[in-house]
Amino acid sequence: MTVDRILPTDEAHDLLELATELADRELAPKVTEYEQRAEFPREVLRTLGRAGLLGLPYAEEHGGAAQPYEVYLQVLEILASRWLAVAEAVSVHTLSCYPVAAFGTDEQRKLLPDMIGGELLGAYCLSEPQGGSDAAALTTKAVRAGDEYVVTGTKAWITHAQVADFYNIFCRTGGPGPRGISCLLADRTTAGIAPQVAERTMGLRSSPVAQLVFDDARVPADRLVGGEGNGFTIAMSALDSGRLGIAACAVGLAQAALDYAVDYARQRQQFGRSIIDFQGLGFILADLATQISAARALTLAAARLRDAGRPYSIEAAKAKLFATDMAMRVTTDAVQVLGGAGYVADHPVERYMREAKVLQIVEGTNQIQRLVISRSLAKG
């Protein structure tokens, strides 16, 4: 189905047309095969980077396209409607470029053209085996030794752990709590960094997720991003943007599920007519369409606050919460619309349902989003 969009410029229209063309040509024909093989589509990400779609919200001086976040999110939505693992990879990579782009030194920012252009793929290393939602309690440690930091510890649930070219490592350089956390930028080739065996995930099987072990990994001190003690601020600032990326992915996935369910319901005949004409089923689809439109509007409203330079953290939490819960409902109901056919891998809705679940978990679980929102209400 065609989504009626209001875009700020003609250039934005062209970008969405490009994203649609690439999604139809490079993503849609490959998704089933790659998901079955659990193979990461590195060349697809490189193609998107060379087309300029990995650096949309970043400055032109660094190789980006200087596009409003609302435009970037709608590109992400289109990609997610064809292949969620690729859209999530774009979101994670964009998140991984953020620390250097926003807080890096001039020397560090020289890396941005290759990062934004997709020649270097990034990973964002915040979560740990015993500290997911409680990021301020992380224990990965970095000790200054001359002109290097020696890093020890383990990170968990790291997207791109095995395939990334650079890692943003959030580690403890000081005392307990958020003020003791710093951010280091490490190359994949750094001795002492060991990606572990990929997790066997319910969905997003072509997206490699694994632990990263740091065994006296030596990172040059000039790779400290934003100064010692500023890592938690960097991490939370990046996550506000990342939550909008996941919300956009949820909208795209839900749209794909709805489109497939509607097409199936138009063609499927029972009792002498298309099942979409039965009110009990037609009303379900009407509710799904409404929920998707609401989630898209909420996500873009938060993005426009960000573009205007206004506080948007709470609105990003609302968008992530609503859009990902919505995607879970929509994909579940899409399976129900197909009945028994929805439960087999011949139809993509079973994959959509498996994939939707992770969106309620990544970039802060939806319970954390509710905590963020409720605390803001308590403060008044």
Residues known to be catalytic: 363
Backbone torsions φ then ψ of 348, nearest 5 degrees = -70, -10
Q: Which amino acid is at 360?
A: Q
Measured distance CA(180)–CA(170) in Å, rounded: 10
265 token code pair: 């319901």
Nearest to 16 by CA among 30, 27, 5: 5
274 class by beta-carbon count within 10 Å (0-12 exposed, 13-18 middle, 19+ buried): middle
Instruction: Name the packing angle between helices 279-307 and 313-338 (round to 10°).
Output: 160
Residue with tokens 């009990």: 280
Residues in the chain: 380
8 Å CB contact between 351 and 331 = no
Q: Could you tell me the CA-to-CA distances from 269 to 83, 259, 283 in Å, in that order?
A: 29, 18, 17
Measured distance CA(177)–CA(84) in Å, rounded: 35
Nearest to 51 by CA among 79, 82, 83: 79
Angle at CA 272, nearest 5°, toward 330 and 288?
10
147 class by beta-carbon count within 10 Å (0-12 exposed, 13-18 middle, 19+ buried): exposed
DSSP 194-227: EE-PPP--SS-TTS-EEEEEEEEEEEEGGGEES-
CA 25 remoteness from chain centre:
22
Nearest to 150 by CA among 96, 192, 188, 183: 192
8 Å CB contact between 151 and 171 = yes
